[in-house]
């Protein structure tokens, strides 16, 4: 396969001339190797075959800028004014990230002016009437114990010129945007207006996606909490299905375009018989279709558990009302869970099989919980990396983790495509091994 061509260059606001105030913290260690060498890179490729395919000298191999503290920084901390905003849907860990940013900025860099912009990008636009709030250690104390976001969020587009007007009028130097793909598109337009006006404002994203659909990032924060929570619903569905003759448990989980939550929850639980995801189209009818398979499975084993990602099988629902979009322009999905429930019940009835079908949709229960300890650790480390990047004058980038290392990813790259389950990859293979379902229902 030809090597993937990527531009990993991160935009900077200029030379870093200011001595980092982290020196006392890092000097106590035997060496100061905690500082990132500005010339170091985290290699994009990590197998011998990938490297060999580049046919390149080592210094020509693509590599991400590593995350972490720089010896020299761009912004004078005592004069730096910071803004933080959360946009898009809820995701476990938003408050952990907010708290992580505030504490790193205040305790180690000595930044004293931090504003929380409320209700997403609306918070920059005066007419909505959501004035920013002051954030300090006290204001974020204990917020990580709760789901949601203390800053509120919203969808719907706002004019990037008006947003930058607001940043300029408040003399903000650094803006952290915590949000999904739409929010990162918004962040890039803000960074572009900043550049167009010749301003020195760093725009740094902390990508949020419960569906784990942002590319060039091993796993997004909140994802582990989300699939752990979804696993509880699978367990309930299994218990319900086993308790009655011909029982079917049907669980719809989040995953608009990417079925990672469905796959991981199914693997964690190991009781799912079928996993339906957007990446793998399936046929419902016919001898090799999903319904016939399900009927056979229930006949043989007495029960079955089906997990469907919300974006699965949308092709069955396309007819009828024209595609609708939400305030941010995202296509509204039709409810595959309800559709499957009806089709399964009808199919069993048609074949004279009595069944009891229990349908569980834990979507909002999954989004709104606080992060689990693993995600909390990940959130705080992303927040630290985001602060180091911002103080060193990076902009138009998101922080992420690539093959286990914290890295800077240009926003343009992070929104260039969607991370999806590869039907030819090892994750889907594991799902097939666990469920025993056919590679395709066709």
Binding site for ligand ATP (CB under 6 A): 87-89, 120-121, 155-158, 179-183, 185-186, 189, 209, 328, 330
Q: Which residue, 67 or 186, is less far from ligand ATP as judged by CB?
A: 186
Q: What are phi and psi of 352, to 5 degrees?
A: 65, 25
The residue from 182, 207, 259, 362 that contacts Mg ion (CB under 5 A) is 182
- Cα–Cα distance, 79 to 15 (Å, whole number): 17
Q: Please identify the residue of the shown chain whose CB is closest to the bound Mg ion.
A: 180
Does residue number 186 form part of the binding site for Mg ion (CB under 5 A)?
no
Angle at which helices 336-350 and 290-301 pack, to 10 degrees?
A: 60
1 carries a ligand binding annotation: no
Compute the distance between CA of residue 255 and CA of residue 178 in angstroms, rounded to an integer: 19
| CB-count exposure of residue 50 (10 Å: 0-12, 13-18, 19+) | middle
Supply φ then ψ for residue 263, to 5 degrees.
-65, -50
Among Mg ion, ligand ATP, none, partner that 106 touches (CB below 5 to 8 angstroms by kind): none
Whole-angstrom Cα distance, residue 434 to residue 90?
30
> What is the closest distance, in whole angstroms, from the C-beta atom of residue 91 to ligand ATP in the complex?
7
CA distance 93 to 206: 11
Is residue 181 involved in binding Mg ion (CB under 5 A)? yes
Residues carrying an active site annotation: 211
Tell me, residue by residue from 53 to 92, as one string, x for binding to Mg ion by CB under 5 A and - for no binding.
Answer: ----------------------------------------
The span from the CA of 54 to the CA of 192, in Å, is: 32
DSSP assignment of 360-378, as one string?
E--HHHHHTSPPPHHHHHH
Helix-, strand-, coil-residue percentages of the chain, each rounded to 5: 40, 15, 45
272 neighbors 435 (Cβ within 8 angstroms)? yes
Rounded Cα gap, residues 224 and 233, in angstroms: 15
Instruction: Tell the smallest beta-carbon distance from residue 273 to Mg ion (Å).
Output: 30
Which of 58/325 has CB closer to ligand ATP? Answer: 325
Taking the complex as a whole, how short is the minimal distance between the CB of residue 167 and ligand ATP, in angstroms?
15
Cβ distance to ligand ATP smaller for residue 272 or 383? 383
Is 329 annotated as contributing to ligand binding? Answer: no
Q: Rounded to the nearest whole angstrom, what is the least distance from the CB of residue 173 to ligand ATP in the complex? A: 22
Does the annotation list 170 as a binding residue?
A: no
Between 180 and 311, whose beta carbon lies closer to Mg ion?
180
Cβ closer to ligand ATP: 87 or 202?
Answer: 87
As measured in angstroms, the least distance from the Cβ of 352 to Mg ion is 44
3-state secondary structure (DSSP) of residue 117:
strand
Q: What gap in Å lies between CA 186 and CA 263, rounded to an integer?
A: 30
Is residue 180 annotated as involved in ligand binding?
yes
Q: Distance between CA atoms of 342 and 198, rounded to whole angstroms?
A: 58
Q: Which of 66, 83, 93, 180 binds Mg ion (CB under 5 A)?
A: 180
Q: Which stretch binds Mg ion (CB under 5 A): 95-103, 107-115, 174-182, 294-302?
A: 174-182
Which is nearer to Mg ion, 182 or 362 (by Cβ)?
182
Report CA 87 to chain centroid distance, whole Å. Answer: 12
Q: How far is the CB of 181 from Mg ion (least distance, A)?
A: 4
Residue stretches of the annotated binding site for substrate: 209-211, 254-256, 310, 364-367
Q: Residue numbers of the site for Mg ion (CB under 5 A)?
A: 180-182
Residue stretches of the annotated binding site for Mg(2+): 181
């Amino acid at each position: 396969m030809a090597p993937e061509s990527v531009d990993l260059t991160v935009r900077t606001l200029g030379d870093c001339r200011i001595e980092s105030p982290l020196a006392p913290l890092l000097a106590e260690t035997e060496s100061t190797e905690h500082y990132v060498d500005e010339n170091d890179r985290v290699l994009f490729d990590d197998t011998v075959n990938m490297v060999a395919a580049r046919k390149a000298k080592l210094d020509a191999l693509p590599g991400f800028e590593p995350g972490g503290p720089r010896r020299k920084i761009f912004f004078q901390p005592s004069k730096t004014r910071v803004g933080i905003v959360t946009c898009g849907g809820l995701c476990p860990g938003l408050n952990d990230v907010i708290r992580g940013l505030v504490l790193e900025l205040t305790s180690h860099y000595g930044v004293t002016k931090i504003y929380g912009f409320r209700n997403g990008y609306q918070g920059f636009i005066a007419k909505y009437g959501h004035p920013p709030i002051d954030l300090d250690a006290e204001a974020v104390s204990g917020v990580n114990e709760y789901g949601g976001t203390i800053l509120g969020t919203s969808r719907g587009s706002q004019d990037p010129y008006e947003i930058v007007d607001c940043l300029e009028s408040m003399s903000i130097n650094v803006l952290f945007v915590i949000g999904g793909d739409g929010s990162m598109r918004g962040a890039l337009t803000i960074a572009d207006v900043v550049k167009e006006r010749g301003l020195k404002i760093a725009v740094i994203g902390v990508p949020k996606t419960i569906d784990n659909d942002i590319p060039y990032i091993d796993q997004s924060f909140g994802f582990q909490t989300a699939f752990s929570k979804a696993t509880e619903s699978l367990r309930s569905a299994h218990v319900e299905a086993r308790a009655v003759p011909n029982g079917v448990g049907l669980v719809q989980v989040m995953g608009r375009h990417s079925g990672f939550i469905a796959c991981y929850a199914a693997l964690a639980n190991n009781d799912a018989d079928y996993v339906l995801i957007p990446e793998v189209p399936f046929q419902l009818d016919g001898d090799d279709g999903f319904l016939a398979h399900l009927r056979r499975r229930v006949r043989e084993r007495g029960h079955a558990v089906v997990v469907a990602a919300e974006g699965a099988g949308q092709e069955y629902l396309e007819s009828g009302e024209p595609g609708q979009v939400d305030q941010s322009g995202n296509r509204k999905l039709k409810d595959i869970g309800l559709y499957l429930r009806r089709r399964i019940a009808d199919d069993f009835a048609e074949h004279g099989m009595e069944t009891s079908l229990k349908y569980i949709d834990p979507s909002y229960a999954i989004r709104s919980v606080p992060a689990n300890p693993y995600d909390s650790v990940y959130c705080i480390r992303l927040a630290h990396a985001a602060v180091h990047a911002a103080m060193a004058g990076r902009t138009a980038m998101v922080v992420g983790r690539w093959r286990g290392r914290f890295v800077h990813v240009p926003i343009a790259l992070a929104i260039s495509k969607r991370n999806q389950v590869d039907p030819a990859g090892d994750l889907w293979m594991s799902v097939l091994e666990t469920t025993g379902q056919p590679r395709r229902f066709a």
